[in-house]
Amino acid sequence: MSDSVEENGNKEPETEPGPDPEPETETDPRKLLETTAACQEDEDLATIVTAEEYLMHKDVVLLEYEKQMFLDTVHADGLLVCAKGLSYERVLINILKAYSDAGNLVLVINSSDWEEQYFKSKMEAKYVHEVANMATERERVYLEGGLQFISTRILVVDLLKQRIPIELISGIIVLRAHTIIESCQEAFALRLYRQKNKTGFVKAFSSSPEAFTIGYSHVERTMRNLFVKNLYIWPRFHATVRGSLQPWQAQTIELHVPLSPSMTSIQTHILDIMNFLVREIKRINRTVDLEAVTVENCVTKKFHKILQAQLDCIWHQLNSQTKLIVADLKILRSLMISTMYHDSVSAYALMKRYRSTEYALSNSGWTLLDAAEQIFKLSRQRVFNGQQEFEPEPCPKWQALTDLLTQDIPGDMKRCKRTVQPKVLILCQDARTCYQLKMYLTQGGARFLLQQALHHEVPVGKLSDKYAKESQANKINPPPTKATKSEAAVATSSQPPAGLDELAQLLSDAEASAESQRFEESYMLTMTQPAEREKQQPQQQLKTDPDVSIFETIPELEEFDVTAALELVSHQPYICLQTFKTEREGSMALEHMLEQLQPHYVIMYNTNITAIRQLEVFEARRRLPAVERLKVYFLIHARTVEEQAYLTSLRREKAAFELIIDTKSKMVIPEYQDGKTDEAFVLYKNYDDELSREDNAKSRQAGGQKATDAASKQTPKIIVDMREFRSDLPCLIHKRGLEVLPLTITIGDYILTPEICVERKSISDLIGSLNSGRLYNQCVQMQRHYAKPILLIEFDQNKPFHLQGKFMLSQQTSSANADIVQKLQLLTLHFPRLRLIWSPSPYATAQLFEELKLGKPEPDPVQAAALGSEEPTAGEQLHFNSSIYDFLLRLPGIHTRNIHGLLRKGVSLRQLLLRSQAELGDLLQSQESGKLLYDILHVAHLPEKDEVAGSTALLAAGKQFGAGSHNRFRKAAAEARRGRR
């Protein structure tokens, strides 16, 4: 049995499944039993250690601040918020290892895919159990204990269905705790857990302090949803963190690379236009709070998301000019980023898109400003010279990077007298920049820019003499173009993965158009002429042809393996191009690369707070002498948007931590907030008070006798379809004290009573269902089986409660869907019993469901499930003709309750005509219904005069009726002819 950590009742050895004891011998069973129990107890006591003793194990390698994090979170439940790059991952790994035991069941929720894979790889396989697809299999796995990385939707359903032994759960660990809101599935699972388990732990982790500054009292609400009372704050300026990292600082060299004159002018003009648009939007909307709209935020923040969250609720009230300005600010931001980080040809191709007549007619007017004309002019001058010859301007950082690789690093190796070949790690912001540097180092800048021109369909025309020479030099020794990759290729048109840094988000916004290029997140290069580096002369600005013969890619491997790659080039310098984050490993990709590569030099081609701190932590773990430590080079454009974005992100994180620290000092936390006492009334709503008020009202009529029976005091129940657990509504229903019964039903989404069935639709789902006809079929099913079918149309709580008007049709529909209201009117005409309910938010829906259930009988789960399985639905095979079904339903005596029996036993319409009235009554389970059906099939009904005239006209038009025609038409036509004579 592995080590475990002492905590309040976390370990329950008596629940551990084990083999049956062997049959007792006849010698002395009582003595043998006592001896076995004593040995087992001694063994358990020998393996139990305190948290402090656990940290003293030789295999536990943690920095000082990480040890303190571990002790804090182990001794008491709480929410831990740390700065980006300080990585609570190692702390969490040791917590998981401490609880890795068959006697513990620990659940990890809200983890991303890469986090789950990372933590699983660090654990012993026998304690990590995969989530099974079958419910019975999951029940067995839960009883085996160990660690479970489980999706919250599955966990909530298993908790509600009591498939998981809630009392035996040792604890729940919540990752990315800043995303936990009141209505999310994670909060729902924690509430169900705390209702029945008062001894298990809840430990939450987050590395996004800025997220806790959004909204009112976000920290207190998150802690209340997590059922924790302690808040642990670990900023970079924490004394323990500084004490752990300061003695092992890496050598840092900051290289300020100046922008070219044309780039500086473009940056200035774009900022001028942004400043003008910001003043314009504030002038037009004087009554709207637009504090977040500043020129600084337009470039450095996730500006579009923040502005959207601020303006969503009043978007329909803004005029068209304001909406155009918001869109144009986003476009200008993409132009700024493209100018700063992309090559000159790609930036010019992006600028050309906004020089078209179509865009000029649809923007806010910024393209007509003098500054805009200068932007377009300067962008062209970066690609074509004065004679309109193709001579693109290289990126300013390219030459600085070449100098580092060919002069500075070799010179430093000489001074340090290192005999091993250097290993250099170049860190980039995104996959596009990574690809750009790989192509530049292997092919040269001139050839790469020409390829970009062809790719973006920029007319090259005539090459300048200088550029033509470089291109010819590049063609002499064309290098291989393969590269080893660590990730699946990422198309530029794809959306950035969740959690990427702000600048990556901005860069991705600038690449919204579909492109055919595919970028990797890692490349491995080497130098083919290490001995000749000393003889090379300092290279000029565009003289990149020597680089072509120096750098080349390592032949592609089947899998990305740094160790194997190093063996291939053990006698040559090794260069690795890597993004700060990858889609597969997230921010842990850099840490993994550092451990594998053990580089001597790191070049920060772009700046990133998380990456810088990861380098600090990496050096603190190695504890090397100052001479052998990393040397980090920063390539940065001083006094530009790039530097300002870095400083702003630092300032925002510091301000966020100061706000959290201030909040903690003033926060009032109730004693019952952890949910471990009976006073936790926040868990459920007490219905006894309402029932007692009803009793008092009835006592006046019944002489003080209690009229309520035991059945009326039970908790109200609502049957919820399994697919609905993707939404917030089941969580909010449970929070109001109603019992949620998860069930797979094919008719409706929520069954409130035996008569009330609700089909819930969001606005987008409503439009899609109306257009596809699916909603019509759903309404047919509900009306057949329920007396009160309801269509619930639920709006987003963060958007206006309006269906008609410009907002909804422009935001969530297209011009082809402009007749949504007309379709709804047709739906209500076709289904008279169908009721429409308009709900502004899931909170209002939960309250409405509670009110609709007051005094009503509870739904029957067995009957609700049977209704869906008795008859065919869209996903099942049809057992009868739907046109016959609709025809029979229109005949007297046939209704939804007896039509299924008639269809199963009636055989055919011809057979119905041959049956007697008594037999039809038996089929329909009512003699009255049988008489009505018999009469309509057999008794002749004389038509009115207009019917007689109509039948005569039909006979005159042609022999439409043969011998099998109905007798009443023939008799009526003959009488009409005799009357005319």
CA distance 172 to 201: 6
| pLDDT > 90: percent of the chain | 38
Q: Is residue 68 located within the same domain as residue 123?
A: yes
Q: At what angle do helices 152-160 and 185-196 cross, to 10 degrees?
A: 40
Contact (Cβ atoms closer than 8 angstroms) between residue 728 and residue 183: yes
Does 893 lie in the same domain as 862? no
CB atoms within 10 A of CB 46: 9
- CA 189, CA 570: separation in Å to the nearest integer? 52
CB-CB neighbours of 631 under 10 Å: 19
- Say yes or no to pLDDT of 790 above 70: yes
What's the pLDDT at 510?
Answer: 39
CA 365 to chain CA centroid, nearest Å: 36
From the number of C-beta atoms within 10 Å of its C-beta (0-12, 13-18, 19+), residue 877 rates as exposed
Mean pLDDT of 936-962: 59
* Assigned domain for 266 exists: yes
State the Rg of the chain over Cα.
37
Residue 326 has a pLDDT of 85
Q: Is residue 450 in some structural domain?
A: no
Cα–Cα distance, 816 to 975 (Å, whole number): 55
Q: Does a structural domain hold residue 343?
A: yes
Taking residue 268's Cβ as centre, other Cβ atoms within 10 Å add up to 12
162 and 273 share one domain: no
Tell me the pLDDT tens digit for each residue of 861-897.
988 888 866 444 433 334 566 677 778 887 888 887 7
- Calpha distance 751→759 (Å, rounded): 9
Give percent of the chain above pLDDT 70: 73
**b or e along 585-612 (b: 16 or more beta carbons within 10 Å of the residue's beta carbon)?**
bbbbbbbebbeebebbbbbbbbbbbbbb
Q: What confidence tier does 490 reach under pLDDT thresholds 50, 70, 90?
A: very low
Give the span between the Cα atoms of 866 and 97, in whole angstroms: 46
Residue 420, C-beta contacts closer than 8 angstroms, at least 6 positions apart: none
Residues 579-599 have a mean pLDDT of 88
Tell me, yes or no, whether 328 and 362 share the same domain: yes
Alpha-carbon 90 to chain mean position: 24
> In which domain, by residue range, is 888 found?
882-938
- Mean pLDDT computed over 491-515: 37
Same domain, 172 and 304: no
Q: What is the band of 61 on the pLDDT scale with cuts at 50, 70, 90?
A: confident
Cβ–Cβ < 8 Å for 173, 107: yes
771: pLDDT confidence band, cut at 50, 70 and 90?
confident
As a whole number, mean pLDDT of residues 161-186 equals: 92
- Of the given ranges (66-80, 704-718, 819-833), which has the lowest mean pLDDT? 704-718
**CA dist., res. 474 & res. 448, Å (int):** 10
Q: Which residue has the tokens 């069973």?
A: 29
Say yes or no to pLDDT of 852 above 50: yes
C-beta of residue 478 within 8 angstroms of C-beta of residue 549: no
Whether 79 and 608 have beta carbons less than 8 Å apart is answered as no
Q: What is the mean pLDDT of residues 190-214?
A: 92
**Is residue 549 pLDDT above 50, yes or no?**
no
Distance (Å, rounded) from C-alpha 817 to C-alpha 493?
A: 27
Distance CA 677, CA 673 (A): 9
Residue 654 CB partners (closer than 8 Å, separation 6+): 235, 237
Arithmetic mean of pLDDT, 331-360: 91
pLDDT value of residue 973: 53
How crowded is residue 956: how many other Cβ atoms within 10 Å of its Cβ?
9
User: What's the confidence (pLDDT) of residue 837?
Assistant: 93
CA distance 629 to 619: 7
Give the per-residue pLDDT at 559.
44
For the chain, give the number of residues: 981
Residue 555 lies in a domain: no
The yes-or-no verdict on residue 694 having pLDDT over 50 is no
CATH of the domain at 846: 3.40.50.10130
Tens of pLDDT along 204-217? 999 999 989 877 78
What secondary structure, in 3-state letters, does 429-456 show?
A: CCHHHHHHHHHHHHHCHHHHHHHHHHHC
User: Would residue 972 count as lying in a domain?
Assistant: no
pLDDT digits over 646-692, tens only? 998 899 899 999 999 999 999 999 888 888 876 664 445 544 444 44
Question: Residue 393 and residue 260: Cα distance in Å, rounded?
Answer: 9
Please report, for residues 408, 738, 742, 746, 858, the alpha-carbon distance to residue 854 in angstroms, rounded to integers and kept in the order given.
79, 11, 21, 25, 10
- C-alpha span between 773 and 827 (Å, rounded): 11
CA of residue 811 relative to chain centroid, distance: 21
> Of the given ranges (121-130, 431-440, 882-891), which has the lowest mean pLDDT?
882-891
Dump pLDDT digits (tens) for 436-482: 999 999 888 888 999 999 999 888 888 887 777 776 665 444 333 33
Tens digits of per-residue pLDDT, 357-415? 888 888 888 999 999 999 999 999 999 988 888 999 999 999 999 999 988 998 888 88
Mean pLDDT to the nearest integer, 68-82? 94
SS3 16: coil
Query: Per-residue pLDDT tens for 920-935?
Result: 888 888 888 888 888 8
Question: Does some domain include residue 565?
Answer: no
Which residues, other chains included, contact 468 with Cβ-Cβ below 8 Å and sequence gap of 6+? none
Domain check: are 70 and 192 in the same one?
Answer: yes
Amino acid found at 678? D
Residues 211 and 306 placed together within one structural domain of the fold:
no
Of the pLDDT bands very low, low, confident and very high (cuts 50, 70, 90), residue 427 is very high
Whose CA is closest to 871, among 950, 784, 942, 751?
784
Tokens of 107: 């659940």
79, β-bridge pairs: 204, 231
Query: Which residues have a Cβ under 8 Å from the Cβ of 50 and sit 6 or more positions away?
Result: 5, 6
Hey, what long-range contacts does 444-447 have (CB within 8 A, 24 or more apart)? 444/470, 444/473, 444/474, 444/544, 444/545, 444/547, 444/548, 445/394, 445/395, 445/398, 445/542, 445/544, 446/470, 446/471, 446/474, 446/542, 446/544, 446/545, 447/471, 447/474, 447/475, 447/548
pLDDT at 616 over 70: yes
Q: Which segment of 91-105, 235-249, 707-721 scores lowest on mean pLDDT?
A: 707-721
DSSP assignment of 624-669, as one string? Answer: --GGGS-EEEEEE-TTSHHHHHHHHHHHHHHHHHHHHHHHHHH---
Output the average pLDDT for the chain: 78
CATH number of the domain that residue 902 is part of? 1.10.150.20
311 vs 150 pLDDT, higher one: 150
Q: What is the pLDDT of residue 58?
A: 65
Same domain, 383 and 349: yes
- Tell me the pLDDT band of 942, cut-offs 50, 70 and 90: low
**Which range, of 390-399, 785-794, 850-859, 931-940, averages the lowest pLDDT?**
931-940
Which carries the bigger pLDDT value, residue 957 or residue 87?
Answer: 87
155 confidence band (pLDDT: 50, 70, 90): very high
Distance separating alpha carbons of residues 482 and 865, to the nearest angstrom = 58
- Residue-level pLDDT at 567: 60
Split at pLDDT 50, 70, 90, the class of 566 is low
> Token match 């012993």: residue?
124
Is the pLDDT assigned to residue 17 strictly greater than 50? no
Decide which of 390, 425, 446 is a domain's last residue.
Answer: 390
Q: Which residues pair with 204 in a beta bridge?
A: 79, 174
Q: Is residue 244 part of a domain?
A: no
Neighbours of 845 (CB within 10 A): 23
Domain boundary among the residues 367, 390, 413 is at: 390
For the chain, give the longest Cα–Cα distance: 131
| pLDDT score of 732 more than 50 | yes
If asked whether residues 265 and 221 sit together in one domain, one would say no
Distance CA 12, CA 102 (A): 10
Once rounded to an integer, what is the mean pLDDT over residues 18-39? 51
Confidence of residue 898 (pLDDT cuts 50, 70, 90): confident
Which has the higher per-residue pLDDT, 978 or 596? 596
Domain boundary among 390, 420, 446: 390
How much is the pLDDT for 692?
45
Q: What is the pLDDT of residue 377?
A: 95
Phi, psi of 12 (to 5 degrees): -130, 85
Residue that the structure tokens 């739904």 belong to? 859
Q: Which has more confidence, 56 or 24?
A: 56
In a domain, 627, yes or no: no
Q: Which residues contact 679 (CB under 8 A, 6 or more apart)?
A: 671, 672
Rounded CA separation 751/758 (Å): 6
Q: Residue 524: its pLDDT value, please?
A: 76
Same domain flag for 915 and 779: no
The structure tokens listed for 201 are 């732990």
Q: Are 47 and 40 within 8 A, CB to CB? A: no
pLDDT reading at 77 higher than 70: yes
Q: At what angle do helices 763-772 and 820-830 cross, to 10 degrees?
A: 70
Q: Is there a single domain that holds both residue 901 and residue 832?
A: no
Given a cut of 60, whether residue 530 has pLDDT beyond it is no
Q: What is the pLDDT of residue 158?
A: 93
Q: Give this prediction's pTM.
A: 0.75
Tell me the CATH number at 144.
3.40.50.300
Regarding whether 770 and 888 lie in a shared domain, the answer is no
Q: How many domains does the chain have?
A: 4
What pLDDT is stored for residue 868 in this prediction?
A: 63
- The residue among 965 and 565 whose pLDDT is bigger is 565
Confidence of residue 41 (pLDDT cuts 50, 70, 90): low
- pLDDT of 751 reads 95
